[in-house]
Amino acid sequence: MIKKSLLILNGSHSEIPLIKAGKNLGFHVITTGNNPSLIGHNYSDEYHLADYSNREEILALAKTLDIDYICSCANDFGAITASFVAEKMALAGHDSFATTLLLHQKDFFKQFSIQHAIPTPYAKCFDDEKQALESIEKYIFPVIIKPVDLTGGKGVQKANKTTFVSAVKNSFKQSVEKRIVVEDFFSGTQHSLSSFLINQKVQFSFSDNEYSYLNPYYVSSSAAPASNIEQFKPSLVKAVEKIAEQLQLKDGIFHIQYLANKNEAKIIDITRRCSGDMYPYPVNYSTNIDWAEWIVKAECGIDCSNFPQIKQLGFYGRYCVMGSNNGRIKKVLISNEIKKNIYDELFWWKQGDVIDSFMTQKIGIVFLKFNSMEQMLNITKKLPKLIQVETVQLELT
Q: What is the pLDDT of residue 141?
A: 96
The pLDDT mean for the chain works out to 96
Under the banding of pLDDT at 50, 70 and 90, the label for residue 155 is confident
Angle at the Cα of 173 from the Cα atoms of 34 and 99, rounded to 5 degrees: 65
- Quickly state the pLDDT bin for 396 (edges 50, 70, 90): low
Q: Is the dihedral of CA 317, 323, 329, 335 positive or negative?
A: negative
In Å, how far are 45, 135, 170, 277 from 154, measured between CA atoms? 32, 22, 10, 17
Residue 20's alpha-carbon distances to 2, 3, 23, 45, 280, in angstroms, are 19, 15, 5, 10, 12
250 in a structural domain: no
CB 214 within 8 A of CB 355: no
Element (H, E) at 174: helix 164-174
> Which domain, by its residues, includes 37?
5-97
Together in a domain, 29 and 73: yes
pLDDT tens digits, residue range 209-236?
Answer: 999 999 999 999 999 999 999 999 999 9
Same domain, 11 and 91: yes
Output the pLDDT for position 397: 56
In order of 53, 323, 363, 384, the CA distances from 329 in angstroms are 31, 9, 10, 16
Q: Mean per-residue pLDDT for 256-281?
A: 97
Percent of all residues in the chain with a pLDDT value above 90, rounded to a whole number = 95
> pLDDT band at residue 1, thresholds of 50, 70 and 90?
low
Q: Write the Ramachandran bin of 282: left for phi over 0, alpha for psi from -120 to 50, otherwise beta.
A: alpha
Give me the pLDDT at residue 236, please: 98
Contact 263, 38 (CB under 8 A): no
For 3-21, how does the pLDDT look when each residue is reduced to its tens digit (9 = 90+)?
999 999 999 999 999 999 9
Q: Residue 153: which pLDDT band, with cuts at 50, 70 and 90? A: confident
Between 152 and 245, name the one with better pLDDT. Answer: 245
- The DSSP symbol for 15 reads G
Assign residue 250 a region: left if phi > 0, alpha if psi is -120 to 50, beta otherwise?
beta
Q: How far apart are CA 22 and CA 10, in angstroms?
A: 13
Supply the CATH number for residue 166's domain: 3.30.1490.20
Q: Which is more confident, 199 or 1?
A: 199
246: three-class secondary structure by DSSP: helix
Domain boundary among 142, 164, 184: 184
Dump pLDDT digits (tens) for 38-68: 999 999 999 999 999 999 999 999 999 999 9
The total number of structural domains in the chain stands at 3
Same domain, yes or no, for 347 and 389? Answer: yes
- Among 137, 164, 184, the domain-final residue is 184
Alpha helices (runs of H) in 198-279, residue ranges in sequence order: 229-247
The tens digit of pLDDT for each residue in 77-118 reads 999 999 999 999 999 999 999 999 999 999 999 999 999 999
Question: Strand 354-355 relative to strand 387-392: parallel, antiparallel, unpaired?
Answer: unpaired
Instruction: Quote the CA–CA distance of 48 and 7 in Å, as a whole number.
Output: 10
In this predicted model, what pLDDT tens digit does every residue of 321-331 receive, in sequence order? 999 999 999 99
